[in-house]
A and B are shown apart, each in its own frame.
Chain A
Amino acid sequence: MTELRLEGVSKVYGANGTGTSALEGVDITVRDGEFFTLVGPSGCGKTTTLRTIAGFEAPTDGTIRFDGREMGDVPPERRDVGVVFQSYALFPHMSVAENVGYGLRFREPPDGVTVDDRVADLLELVDLEGMGDRDPDQLSGGQRQRVALARALAPAPDLLLLDEPMSALDAQLRESLRRQVSRIQSELGITTVYVTHDQAEALAISDRVAVMNGGRIEQVGRPQEVYREPATRFVAEFVGDNNVFEGDVRGRNGEYSRIAIDGETFSLPSIPDGADRVTFCVRPGALSQAADHNRLPVTVETSEFLGETVRVNGRWNGRRVVLQLPAVPESAELTVGFAPDDAHVIDLDRD
């Protein structure tokens, strides 16, 4: 199938490249058959990246290659990509079958099957057998999105691009559709780029994730890597709940380093010599009342009951702290601690 490579892709809006910058030197390699997700807050450039891949927008700088072929100014209709939009973009004047079959007016169906068979196959793939004669406006939101997916896949594209395809759906539908997309993608083995602002969705569905912010890639990695070992403070705070602290390095204590924050001392995994300041994070779940290291007294402000757990927002020395506890705390003051190995160092600095 297809490997996608972006090299130094930049996009500047406005006349003569003097306007606002949407992308600043994005380098990405999406491997053949991979499910790759671009995730970030709105305005981070993830959709712009997708649109340059599809050919709807030309990058100001940099190159995009499909299997080594430079795309340059190849128009979208000759890139062999399937695109699914958040708004579904079904053609309202065509039936479901006509929508799915539209791309087959320009490309032969694969494997020598007829157009009708191909359309039927795809409707079956997205669990919409026999719905071909309906009009798009007779379908529910989830069904429409599945038609859009079938339509994008019908001409057997080299690359599937999904732009926030589930944002308009309610939470339960989103989860079942997510599993369906994931199943279809692995069945077909098609290289897929998925754009979402929902970090939980990104972690659940992807082979690899690229976290974007301000037109740049902050980190690329497998979901577990991005979650457990965030490369930057932005990633640590964007992906899941997190507590980020900064402290001064105060020498060593055996295999651990000693860190001071507001006069309190903490133990962290060994830090290389020469660093004076450290930024590290501790997941809420790692802070427990039972831990006997690195204890900090927390004033509880609010508690949110989430079912299995309770999310507690509190303060320690005026800093916001998020805890994940098994039950709503009974008093407004409690003390939690964390094991040194549960802290992840994000950044080191010299004074």
Chain B
Amino acid sequence: MSRPNRSERGARLRRRSADVRRWLERRALALTTLVTAGVLAVMLYLPVGVVFGEAVIDDGAATLAFFRAVLTDPFYVGVLADVFAEPLAVKTHLESLVGWLGAISVAVSFESPLPGVSLPVPWLALEVPPIRKGLFGFTAYQAALSTIASVALGLPAAYVLANYEFRGRRTLRSLTILPFVLPGIMVAVGFYAMFGRAGTLNQGLALVGLGPIPFIEWNPLAIVIVAHAFYNAPLVARVTVAAWESVDARSVETARSLGASPRRAFRDVVVPQLLPAILTGALLTFIFTFMTFPIVLALGGLQLATVEVWIYDRVRRLAYSEAATLAVLETLLSLALTYTYLRYESAQSGLARAATAPSRTPLFPDRRTALSPRRLAIVGYGLVTLVVFVGPLASLVVGSVTDGSGFTLAHYAFLLERQLEGASYQTLPWVAIRNSLLFGVATLAVAVPMGVVVSVVTVRAGRGGTIVDTLAMLPLAVSGVVFGIGLLRGLVFGVSLPGGWQFRVTGGVAIVAAHAVAAYPFVTRNVSPLLSTLDPALVESARALGASRYRALRDVELPLVASGIVAGAAFAFAISIGEFSSTVLLASGSQTYTMPVAVERYLGRRSGPAVAMGTVLLVVTAASFVVVDRVGGRFER
């Protein structure tokens, strides 16, 4: 009699499953956080830890011998080697510093800067006695030059974008984010296609009977620096425009009414608000160019080796301890720089949206003023940017369908032929394309949830959140090559676990892990600002109405930050498509190479196939941007 009938049992079962679901919902946030922390520990901290371990452990014993060897070798640290060798001999070091300073001289002379063209130019010659910079010194030197070039090229753009109105201004402003996600190796090949012996520039010169001028061989450093400016000048322009647009026009008007001239008001009110942004941009540029890899590798090779390129070379030669030691030193330096940047950024985070944005004047109001010196200067600057930014990409496309004599499809035919007839050990184009797309989608699937979880945990966590934020932002300070070594030595070669077990992650999984770890900070960077501007009362209202923390996240917060998530996803995909540094290490000798790796491998022989492959990469990257644009993503927040 008392046996439960079927409907009762069904009801109980339903209640049970509802209980389970509620239990899961209540802990969903904690569980995803735990999973994210686990992935970060295994895929980020373990590899970086392995690199650090490799640098300080020799035959199972802790040692600083590797560091001593690097720090006292003039090849690495230049003149500082003596200082590291004998840090206490202060007097000797000071004397040599004074002697060096005394030998500096400045002179003005006439020189002909272009070889083969006798055009005398007054030249301010700064005679500096030679100084041995060493690998680290050179890396910092080229980073400093790149930073100066990027600021010089970026500031006029910021000025024009912030002060003038013209058709396409908003589009141009959005486009400043684009170079940042373009694959480095592709840009390097673009510069090849433009400045190389058979490049578009020399083809143009040939039309007027000049050249060919071997720009790259003649001054590879200059080309590398222009390529770095291609990447970072838009970044400088971006942060500066943002600061410029947040200057309250009323504060300038107040200064004017108090007696300041336009020039004076600009100096006293606007400039102090721009300087922090310019410094931020410069600091970021320095960090990025200090860790530069594909551009130097492709354009300069070992003769221009930066720390990063040298580490890559050491790994290729299986000198792991030396590579690890260099990697640790590089990471410590970039960590210090990144920390400075983060401190600086948070110190000026009070940057509020302007009550009244400054007004913009039309760039070309009428024909009469079109020829004013200022407007002519802007036009001239526009031409320079056209050469620097459009030139390499256009040359890439043009170079893929031309050879020395005219239009040809031979480069693409080579790719097709390789695909159809190539041996399995050769680099096949379709495999590279397929891998890139596959890894891109997989990266998206891993990096977006990770990035969102880190945002949710950090935004509402107060001071504890800052620590988590810093730990989670580590990938920004660890270069791709360093991370690649860690993955290679840690996960690909395997980690021994107690009980004779081995933990290994190889092939595509390792590459996706590397891409996801590199990409998720960009998801976080896109989502966190939106999340932190949401009224906390929204979540509290939802919870008072009966929603669990997870439901409040799903129903309220995520829909409201959707645009940030889509933008972050676009970044994640683009970074995966373009990632080169760690992929080239992990994909060596396997079937998991991607498009950027294929470009570099083709570059070894003739440049034609590499240029064609680079164009394919450009098309795929551009297509993914169009798709994201169509589904409503924005590339800025």
Chain A residues within CB distance 8 Å of chain B = 54-56, 75-79, 81-83, 85, 87, 89, 91-93, 102-103, 105-107, 148, 151-152, 154-155, 161
A87 pairs with B544, CB closer than 8 A: no
The CA of A154 and the CA of B560, in the complex, are separated in Å by: 23
Q: A82-B545, A102-B547 are in contact. List 6 more A-B contacts (CB 8 A).
A: A55-B543, A56-B543, A76-B543, A85-B540, A87-B537, A91-B556
Which chain B residues border A93 with CB–CB below 8 Å? 559-560
With A91-B556, A93-B559 given, is the CB distance from A155 to B537 under 8 Å?
A: no
Bound-state CA distance A302–B555 (Å) is 56
Is B79 at the interface (CB under 8 A from chain A)?
A: no
B546 and A107 within 8 A (CB):
yes
Interface flag for B535 (CB, 8 Å): yes
Flag whether B254 is at the interface (Cβ < 8 A). no
Question: Which chain A residue lies CB-closest to B543?
Answer: A76
- The reply to whether A83 and B544 contact each other, CB–CB distance below 8 Å, is yes
Mark interface residues in B541-575 (1 if CB within 8 Å of A CB, else 0): 11111111101000110011000000000000000
Number of residues on chain B facing chain A (CB within 8 A): 18
Contacts of A154 in B (CB 8 A): 545
CB-based nearest B residue for A84: B541
Q: Considering the complex of A and B, which 3 residue pairs feature the smallest CB-CB distances, nearest first?
A: A106-B546, A103-B545, A89-B537
Q: How far is the CB of B541 from chain A (nearest CB, A)?
A: 4
**By the criterion CB–CB under 8 Å, are B543 and A92 in contact?**
no
On whether A77 and B556 interact (CB within 8 A), knowing A85-B541, A89-B535, the answer reads no
Q: Is the CB of B546 within 8 A of A81?
A: no
Q: Please give the distance in Å from A246's CB to the nearest CB on chain B.
A: 43
In the complex, A92 Cα to B548 Cα: how many Å? 19
Determine which of A75, A85, A102 lies in contact with B545 in the assembled complex, contact meaning CB atoms within 8 Å. A102
Chain B positions within 8 Å of A78 at CB level: 546
Selected from A54, A75, A102, the residue in CB contact (under 8 A) with B542 is A102
Which of chain A's residues have a CB closer than 8 A to the CB of B559? Answer: 93
- Which A residue sits closest to B545, measured CB to CB? A103
Query: What is the CB-to-nearest-CB distance from A123 to chain B, in angstroms, rounded to a whole number?
Result: 16
Q: Are B540 and A54 closer than 8 Å at their CB atoms?
A: yes
- Beyond A87-B535, A89-B535, A102-B555, is A155–B545 a contact (Cβ under 8 Å)? yes
Point out the residues of chain A lying under 8 angstroms from B409, CB to CB.
none
Chain A residues within an 8 Å CB radius of B556? 91
Contact: B540 with A76, CB < 8 Å?
yes
1/0 per residue, CB under 8 A from A, across B181-197: the answer is 00000000000000000
CB neighbours of B545 from chain A (8 A): 77, 82, 102-103, 106, 151-152, 154-155
Q: What is the CA–CA distance of A107 and B544 in the complex, to the nearest angstrom?
A: 12
Q: Are A54 and B546 in contact (CB under 8 A)?
A: no
19 A-B residue contacts at CB 8 Å? A54-B540, A54-B544, A56-B543, A77-B548, A82-B544, A83-B540, A85-B535, A85-B540, A89-B535, A89-B538, A89-B541, A91-B555, A93-B559, A105-B547, A106-B545, A106-B547, A106-B551, A152-B544, A152-B545
Q: How far is the CB of B559 from the nearest CB of chain A, in Å? A: 5
How far is B545's CA from A54's CA once the two chains are assembled, in angstroms? 11
B555 lies within 8 A of A81 (CB): no
Asked whether A77 and B544 contact (CB < 8 A) given A91-B556, A92-B560, A93-B559, the answer is yes
Residue pair A89, B560 in contact (C-beta under 8 Å): no
Q: How far is the CA of A154 from the CA of B543 in the complex (A)?
A: 14
Contact check, A77 vs B547: say whether CB atoms are below 8 A apart: yes
- Which residues of B pack against A, CB within 8 Å? 535, 537-538, 540-549, 551, 555-556, 559-560
Interchain nearest-CB distance for A232 vs B (Å): 32
Q: Which residue of B lies closest to A51 (CB)?
A: B540
CA distance A77 to B551 in the complex (A): 10
How far does the alpha carbon of A13 sit from the alpha carbon of B349 in the complex, in Å?
A: 25
* Chain A residue with the shortest CB-CB distance to B544: A83
Q: Which residue from chain B places its CB closest to the CB of A157 in the assembled complex?
A: B544
A155→B546 contact, CB < 8 A: yes
How far, in angstroms, from A148 to B545 measured CA to CA in the complex? 11
Q: Which residue among B538, B541, B544, B549 has the maximum number of chain A CB atoms within 10 Å of its CB?
A: B544
Which of B535, B543, B548, B556 lies at the interface centre, i.e. has the most chain A CB atoms within 10 A of its CB? Answer: B543
Complex interface: chain B residues within 8 A of A87 (CB) = 535, 537
Contacts of B555 in A (CB 8 A): 91, 102, 105
- CA–CA, A325 to B61, complex, Å? 92
* CB-based nearest B residue for A54: B544
- CA gap between A155 and B548 in the complex, in Å: 15
Contacts of A81 in B (CB 8 A): 544
Contacts A91-B556, A92-B560: A103 and B546 contacting too (C-beta < 8 A)?
yes
Looking at the assembled complex, report how far the CB atom of B467 sits from the nearest CB atom of chain A, in whole angstroms: 14
Q: How far is the CA of A103 from the CA of B548 in the complex (A)?
A: 11
On whether A151 and B541 interact (CB within 8 A), knowing A91-B556, A93-B560, A102-B555, the answer reads yes
A28 to B312, CA, bound (A): 70
Which A residues touch B542, using CB under 8 A?
91, 102
Q: Are B547 and A85 in contact (CB under 8 A)?
A: no
CB-based nearest B residue for A102: B545
Chain B residues with Cβ under 8 A from A103's Cβ? Answer: 545-546
> Which residues on A sit within 8 Å (CB–CB) of B541?
83, 85, 89, 91, 148, 151-152
CB distance from A131 to the nearest CB of B (A): 19
Q: A20 to chain B: closest CB distance in Å?
A: 15
> Which residues of chain B are near A79, meaning CB under 8 Å?
544
Identity of the chain A residue whose Cβ is nearest the Cβ of B541 in the assembled complex: A89
Q: How far is the CB of A74 from chain B (nearest CB, A)?
A: 12
CB distance from A287 to the nearest CB of B (A): 44
Bound state CA distance, A9 and B538, in angstroms?
26
Contacts of A56 in B (CB 8 A): 540, 543
B543 and A75 contacting across the interface, CB-CB below 8 Å: yes
Q: How far is the CA of A266 from the CA of B559 in the complex (A)?
A: 69
Query: Closest residue to B558 on the A side, CB-wise?
Result: A93
CA distance A87 to B533 in the complex (A): 13
Quick one: which of A56, A76, A78, A105 has the most chain B CB within 10 A? A76
Closest beta carbon of chain B to A51's beta carbon, Å? 8
**A76 neighbours in B (Cβ, 8 Å):** 540, 543-544
Contacts of A105 in B (CB 8 A): 546-547, 555
| A-chain residues with CB within 8 Å of residue B547 when the two chains form the complex | 77, 102, 105-106
Residues of A within 8 A of B543 (CB): 55-56, 75-77
**CA–CA, A83 to B549, complex, Å?**
16
How far is it, in angstroms, between the C-alpha of A93 and the C-alpha of B548 when the chains are bound? 19
A32 to B446, CA, bound (A): 52
CB distance from B15 to the nearest CB of A (A): 14
Shortest Cβ distance from B528 into chain A, in angstroms? 19
Task: Give the distance in Å from the alpha carbon of A83 to the alpha carbon of B538 in the complex.
Answer: 11
Chain B residue, CB-CB nearest to A82: B544
A105 to B404, CA, bound (A): 70
With A93-B559, A93-B560 known as contacts, the answer to whether A85 contacts B537 (CB < 8 A) is yes
Bound-state CA distance A82–B248 (Å) is 41
Report chain A residues within 8 Å CB of B546: 77-78, 103, 105-107, 155
